[in-house]
Amino acid sequence: MQFEVVIGLEVHAQLNTKTKIFCSCPTSFGDEPNTNVCEVCLGLPGALPVLNKEAVKKAIALGTAIHATVNQKSIFNRKNYFYPDLPKGYQISQFEIPIVENGEIVIDFEDGRTKRIGVTRAHLEEDAGKNIHHGALSHVDLNRAGTPLLEIVSEPDMRSSEEAVLYLKKLHAILRYLDISDANMQEGSFRCDANVSIRPKGDTKLYTRAEIKNLNSFKFIQKAIDYEVERQIEAWEDGVYEKEVVQETRLYDTEKNETRSMRGKEDSAEYRYFPDPDLLPVLIPDEMMAECIQIPELPDQKRDRFLKEYGIKEYDANVITSSVEMAHFYETMIKEGAGAKNAVTWLTVELLARLNNGITLMTSPVDAVKLAMIVKRIEDGTISGKAAKEVLDYLMEHEASVDDTIETLGLKQVSDDGAILAIIDTIIASNMDKVAEYRAGKEKLFGFFVGQTMKESKGTANPAKVNELLKSKLDV
């Protein structure tokens, strides 16, 4: 029997406001445990929440970006459940009327295909704290409690782990382009829950789904979904599907590459939602809507512009615009005078290959201005492409200018006809037998003469000049 995979994703994106969603405590990451807390975070009696306006603005920006409906009236609810990291015993979230609903994200496949993934809703809520386990002891850090979250819920439109990762990468890029979330997966500000089920191919029924909780790496998200799909298919084929596949929350063990049952999955009724009596409905005035829908250029728009303005390949445009940092880096290179196509190669192939040990584009010792200068020195004939790689390697380790590095390493290309002709004359005089063979029709020997000339010049001769001058000497 053939099966179809059905995947829906819930993403929790931490909004990059300076303060929490219902109080003035800072949202900074990595501070001493339980230092960024107050009466509201702790849920003490009499403490009243006050909504952070900036969180609302950022939610509107996302709704605009994904072509969704932004509800100018939305409601906060109390979602009741009991865990140590939720001191109030309930979470303030949105249920009946979210701020954003009915959007879409278009994913792009490497072969040029696209697919629309529906976004059911995106609602504002507060984050819980964090449980930290040390052997038999457990601690609770409430610094994160109250941090503003945007929970973004997709339709069950994805049919493979590949589609799920493409969706997440596009959503991640949109959040970063909008500058509404750091979306740092390592710090937990971009977390994903994957709802996975299977069904016989051709069936339209939705079967029991398992929720894989708190995935924070694209690699592990794909592995977890693939494992869960195989688990469910095996259960179906062994005749134990109804017993083995139940509505539950599962955790993914990265070391064993398996999902494990964590707890039964609650239905919405079990959360006993009701409107939060301490918070009035959110009413967004027209003026605020008009301000917040003015959003920056997004990945797809930037890609289309790059294709039109710079004439680069669609694949390269997709790679460059996949992150806002890379897109800005590339555009800076163009503004500094680097050729569009050479800039692609030196950014996506040469520089990215050298970013190791935690170094990123943002922390690279070779910034966009320096990399553009390297490209310009290739294009104006000062250095060869091979020499440029040596320059780049040197600058990854040393603080220096491009031109000083070229001088220090002695890599300046010789383009003077007289100097190159002197080398060529010596090589021809030493290899008259090969000259005769070449002139008799053995044209492959031309490469021998080019190689000898480059070797004699220690790689500094301009290859184009070498070819031109050798032709003039040999083809007589």
User: If you average pLDDT over every residue of the chain, what do you get?
Assistant: 91
pLDDT exceeding 70 applies to what percent of the chain? 98
Mean pLDDT of 331-357: 96
pTM metric for this prediction: 0.86
Confidence of residue 61 (pLDDT cuts 50, 70, 90): very high
pLDDT at 173 over 90: yes
Confidence of residue 286 (pLDDT cuts 50, 70, 90): very high
Residue 416: the pLDDT is 65
Mean pLDDT of 301-325: 94
Angle, vertex CA 127, rays to CA 23 and CA 174, nearest 5: 105
Mean pLDDT of 64-85: 94
Please state, as a whole number, how many other Cβ atoms lie within 10 Å of the Cβ of residue 322: 18
Confidence of residue 468 (pLDDT cuts 50, 70, 90): confident
Mean pLDDT of 177-186: 93
Domains and CATH numbers, the chain: 3-291 (no CATH), 299-409 (no CATH), 417-475 (1.10.10.410)
Residue 266: the pLDDT is 61
pLDDT at 3 over 90: yes
pLDDT at 352 over 70: yes
- The amino acid occupying position 315 is Y
Residue 143 structure tokens: 């610094």
More confident position, 45 or 66: 66
Confidence of residue 434 (pLDDT cuts 50, 70, 90): confident
Residue 29: the pLDDT is 86
Residue 267: the pLDDT is 65
Residue 81: the pLDDT is 85
Lowest mean pLDDT among 205-209, 220-224, 260-264, 374-378: 260-264
pLDDT exceeding 90 applies to what percent of the chain? 67
Residue 411: the pLDDT is 85
Lowest mean pLDDT among 192-196, 319-323, 451-455: 451-455
- Reported as a single tens digit per residue, the pLDDT across 25-45 is 999 888 999 999 999 988 898
Mean pLDDT of 234-253: 89
Confidence of residue 265 (pLDDT cuts 50, 70, 90): low
- Reported as a single tens digit per residue, the pLDDT across 355-392 is 998 899 999 999 999 999 999 999 988 888 888 999 99
